[in-house]
Chains A and B, each alone.
Chain A
């Protein structure tokens, strides 16, 4: 049964048709054989009865006048019927009058596998209304069985022909059902393997299979339409993204160009202005004898110097953003770079100690000067915010495909809006730490460098003590 279940529909149909027709033919054949056998048997019996009737009737004279010879002649006529093995005429109330035995011998009861092996008929012999004797004829069933065998062979031939004809018809007709199904299946395979929804199933019929085919085609069409819509949406989206990106880039360029223009303008105009101021200061210094004024002049000069620094910083910021994305990149051993930097820091910053935990051999693709600049800014930021005599902890580790550079300092808690630290011209130091050259450029540059290298920066409070941890994540090559 399991084997049948796993057969293809085509073979299943053939099997069902052939089984049904064979069973029908077989039943018909058996019925016709039984019918034939019954009729044949009846026919043999009828023949024997006729013979008994004729011979009995013919023997009335011989029986009446005790003429055994004539009676024997009558009986011996039975020898033309080879299947008659025994015949006997008895006189009424008397023994055997005459007897006939086939020269071929009697019955062989064993030759029919236990089936009936003889037919026996007996008839009264009546003369003038008086029963004068009885005739009994025994026939074997050779004819019956040989006829039956002939019949069986004939039936088998007919059965085989029926089988053949129904096989041919079935193999043609099953296509009506199996073909649409196999078309459907092929189409489904094509759809699932090639994702090709343009396939359509051929064939038309007004039955359930036709409806199935139509439904399948309709479904494919729906999917195709939806796919087309999706594709067009996607194309639109891409175009929109491209447009937005372009707008953004334009905006950035505009901003940078505005910044540069502003910086140039300021530098130019303020330079002119400071020239006037400085000249005036020099004149004041030369003309006056009052030395007490020198302190004010020095203060004014210092402010002038700060203004210059300010101007340069604005110029730096504007040109930094413009150039940072155009820097040349090359493979860079980050571990080595940090080790080199550390030597300089140790000599430059004597107020704090450094703890370095650096995994060797971490390389990134980047611009050495920019990365160095980023590390400088982070370290100087950490030192600016650290409590005196606390160490700055610098670590470099590898997590999945990322290099993580962390710089930890103990110190003040981070402000609520700590993300703003990375914005341009934002400085969040408290006033006592404020230094003249800090314009809020440092962390902005760190962020620019990290992002231009495909990385990012984040900052958070230390968990166990007051302080901050800055982490830069950069992709490893």
Chain B
């Protein structure tokens, strides 16, 4: 499997282990929105692998925000926000913009979790692993399954240091 496909699938799978507040979904048939902020790092095949998949009884919908700008509407509509490596330098402002909104932020930018992101995809020994910042998740009002936590490396925001 190609690396981008793996990342796409992983990101979509995170949705299965995450609980959003009930208010996040407008109605019962609302889609689960997978938003990609910045330059789309996924090829078509990777996106095809996840598009319309079922997550918690909802269809996955891919939304692209190539401009890197998030409107309030977008923040309200997105459930999963994949922040592209292209936005590496703007990361701080993006996270500030989100400001504890119940949006699951995922990125493969280095030290993403340490900088306040929720789940960072990390490549180690030819495998894609992930780091989780549970504090950020908690502040955003998201609950993540312990089954996911036990697979991840838990980190804290910079200043307090990483938890091994």
User: Which residues from chain A sit less than 8 Å from chain B, CB to CB?
Assistant: 57-58, 60-62, 64-67, 70, 127-130
Contact = CB atoms under 8 A, between A and B. Distances in A.
B160 to A, nearest CB: 25
Contact of A70 (B55, B127, B151): B151
Candidate in A61, A67, A70 with the most chain B CB atoms within 10 angstroms: A61
Interface stretch (B10-18, B71-79, B89-97, B104-112): B10-18
A106 B144 CA distance: 39
Q: Give the contact-size bracket for chain B.
A: 10 to 19
Interface in B30-45: none
Contacts of B52: none
Interface string B1-33: 000000000100100110000000000000000
Given A70-B150, A70-B151, A61 B54 contact: no
B57 A61 contact: no
A129 B57 contact: yes
Nearest to A130: B54
A72 to B, nearest CB: 12
Given A127-B16, A128-B16, A62 B151 contact: yes
A128 B147 contact: no
A128 B151 contact: no
Given A64-B13, A128-B55, 6 more contacts: A60-B147, A61-B148, A61-B150, A65-B13, A65-B130, A65-B151
Among B10, B55, B57, B150, chain A packs the most CB atoms within 10 A around the CB of B150
A67 B56 contact: no
A70 B127 CA distance: 14
Nearest to B56: A128
Interface in B118-164: 127, 130, 145, 147-148, 150-151
Contacts of A129: 54, 57
A125 to B, nearest CB: 11
Contact of B54 (A58, A64, A128): A128
Q: Which 4 A-B residue pairings sit nearest by Cβ, starting from the closest?
A: A61-B147, A128-B16, A67-B151, A61-B151
Nearest to B15: A128
A321 to B, nearest CB: 148
Contacts of A128: 16, 54-56
A58 B150 CA distance: 10
Contacts of B150: 61, 70
Contacts of A130: 54
Contacts of A65: 10, 13, 130, 148, 151
B41 to A, nearest CB: 19
A61 B56 contact: no
Contacts of B130: 65
A65 B15 CA distance: 13
Contacts of A58: 147
Contacts of B55: 128
26 contacts: A57-B147, A58-B147, A60-B147, A61-B145, A61-B147, A61-B148, A61-B150, A61-B151, A62-B147, A62-B151, A64-B13, A64-B16, A65-B10, A65-B13, A65-B130, A65-B148, A65-B151, A66-B127, A67-B151, A70-B150, A127-B16, A128-B16, A128-B54, A128-B55, A128-B56, A129-B57
Nearest to A128: B16
Contacts of A60: 147
Contacts of A70: 150-151
Interface in B44-99: 54-57
A67 B150 CA distance: 10
B128 to A, nearest CB: 8
Contacts of A66: 127
A128 B59 CA distance: 12
Nearest to A57: B147
A88 to B, nearest CB: 19
A61 B127 CA distance: 15
B129 to A, nearest CB: 8
A57 B17 CA distance: 12
Nearest to A67: B151
A64 B13 CA distance: 7
Contacts of B54: 128-130
Contacts of A62: 147, 151
Contacts of A61: 17, 145, 147-148, 150-151
